[in-house]
Chain A
Amino acid sequence: MSLPQQDLSRPPQEPPGRTFGWFIMAAVSLALACGLCEALASLLLGTRQGILSWKTGNSVKVLIAAPAVYLLVFLPASTLFALLDRALKQRWADVAMIFSFISLLGISLTTLMRPWFSAGTSVLLGLGMASVAIRIYTSNRTRWGFALVRSAPWLVAATLLIGVIGTGSTAIAERLAIARLPAIAASAPNVLLIVMDTQRADHLTAYGYSRATTPRLGRLADEGVSFTWATSPAVTTLPSHSSMMTGQLVGEHGAGVNSRLFLDRRFPTLAEQMRGSGYLTGGFVANTYWTGRHTGLNRGFIHYEDFYGSLMDGFTRTVMGRAIAYQIFPMIGQVDIPGRKRAEDVNRELLGWLDSHRGRPFFAFLNYFDVHAPYRPPQGWAGRFSPPGDSVARTRKIEIGAWNEGTVPDSAVLAAWRDRYDESLLYLDHQIGVLLDSLAARHLLEHTIVIVTGDHGESFGEHGTVHHGATLYLEQIRVPLILWGPGRIPAGKRVDRAVDLRAIPATVLEVAGLPAAGSHRRSLLTYLDPADSTAEPAISEGPRVPGNPPTWQTGKGWVKSVATQRWHLIQFESGNRELYDLRADPAELRDLAAVPELRDTLTVLERGLPGTLGASSASRSPR
């Protein structure tokens, strides 16, 4: 069909009238085209680590999600423009609609490139793109209006095709990866690594807490080995998980250091080693901010479930969806994390994956996000510890924690936070029990080694801080650590020597009967030998985070600490030190660094600390 032509040398034509149907069809075309543009930009930017920010990680499912979100926004908007067109009879509503939609696309695309463009520049570029589009459109409104409507069915077909090919290719790639796995003995045990995000040790009943928060984990500890002084290598999620996956110090792997918000490829990960030995590897994570695939923690996993756990999460995978979910929804009282993946969702993902891949030993890594701020226990669990009518100050923003302004609320709010944290833990403990029972029903549990830990702790006002990422005091670094495995892990053992989570790769490789290639850490199993009294220092590090409040240790500079069964030394970039006797002063209130009689103790502890503060990875050649 030939399109109407316009001679630009003639005076402008009378603007064509637009029907209601035209507005709808044009909106469909623009929504699908804009959605595909943002999806492709997102995927393209995601191919290079460090460009996408902590909220903007994505997967190939964005090819479906982004057009859908644009449709969700553009279609209702187009009806408004159509009504305006009818009401005002000025015949500019089509121009206004196209200008608005292209502006939104431009702002979205440049917002994705936030490392390069400020918010103001994004708006200017968006308006600029829309201006160019409008100049083209108004050069021949009849022709372009016709083209917009005509392209709608083609764009629908193209979007569906691209979506199916994109998501289908992931499934095919996984099948090929499984087919290429080397042979492995059927007797090799399964390994289930469970990380409870933000779980401090002393809120578990098994670790001496007064509340019955963790009956199921208590049973697991009774039937396995619990490490009473386990510390996390870092006080935020990404560096701590990176240490758990590589066995390296934060200063060595560098994830979370100097604005590098990803784990680079220099060190082999535990998942890579397990996969290389024939294990089926799967990661199922709920903290999509800091364990999503954009952080590099998915390296080595054949299957990785992070984003798109719910429709709401899919909505937040686009720039417009995020803006609505994080800025507008809180105004109407929705202050929980949009699309927060609950433990039951993580369990469902894992069990679904296991059901479709039977017959080969698996290594599964789970990250549960239920106890993380904002403290919002699910319905049915809220109120188990908090008094009736308890009121947490109502906010109009999503308080994710860690990255707050550093103010400590009053004691009533802190008490309410603690209650809700414990209620969330009670729910999580129940869900871990549900998962273990489900594995037992599938006859998988008896062949499975279970490791349960946390990536860092959480403060509730201790040492003048809340949440985490602020200090290296015990409330932020001491985490639970339980090993369980019938016939492979001794039952009912407690290890009181200090260990840190860098030992996890060596431990997993040992229980799986695999060589610990490249790992310089000792396995946690070696601590079970009562005759062996040697210990590696338990190290924690806190990189300086620009923007953290100056009242925080990590706001002033790098900080590192070494813990033993009795002592905890914290050393600051400024050269200051703090020393605590954990046996006499577990709350770390009396600094003993200046006590002359403890000078030798201090010297011995200092020898256990990494040589330099800050990233030391440049001097290592790991791979």
Chain B
Amino acid sequence: MAQLPDDRQYTAEHEWAKDDGGRIVVGITYYAQDQLGDVVFVGLPEPGSEVTAGEPLGEVESTKSVSDVYSPVTGRVAEKNLAVEQNPELINSDPYGKGWLVVIEPAEGGLGELMDAEAYGQLTE
């Protein structure tokens, strides 16, 4: 198991959310990509679309299955990762870095309290 970055928070659905100057970068965890296997397709929302915390924002498809990606925060999509749409394997090779999925401009209230690295680490042990 790769080291869990402690500069971000985690959800029980295996997404990570990182505060980047008020905007929230979202991706899926190393554990999630390991469970999925080789990711072959990513469906991401267009910038400008509204997302709701706990509701699906997109999907990742591997050779095994299709899984929803749940938004860790309510807000508006500011950016999506075009590179990961072109090269979904980035999610496998660098889930916490180049494999990010979307950047969300959070609605009022911002990012709520999610799991820290330690709590998420225990969940996936």
Physical interaction between A and B: no
User: Hey, which bits of chain B sit against chain A, CB under 8 A?
Assistant: none
User: Hey, which bits of chain A sit against chain B, CB under 8 A?
Assistant: none
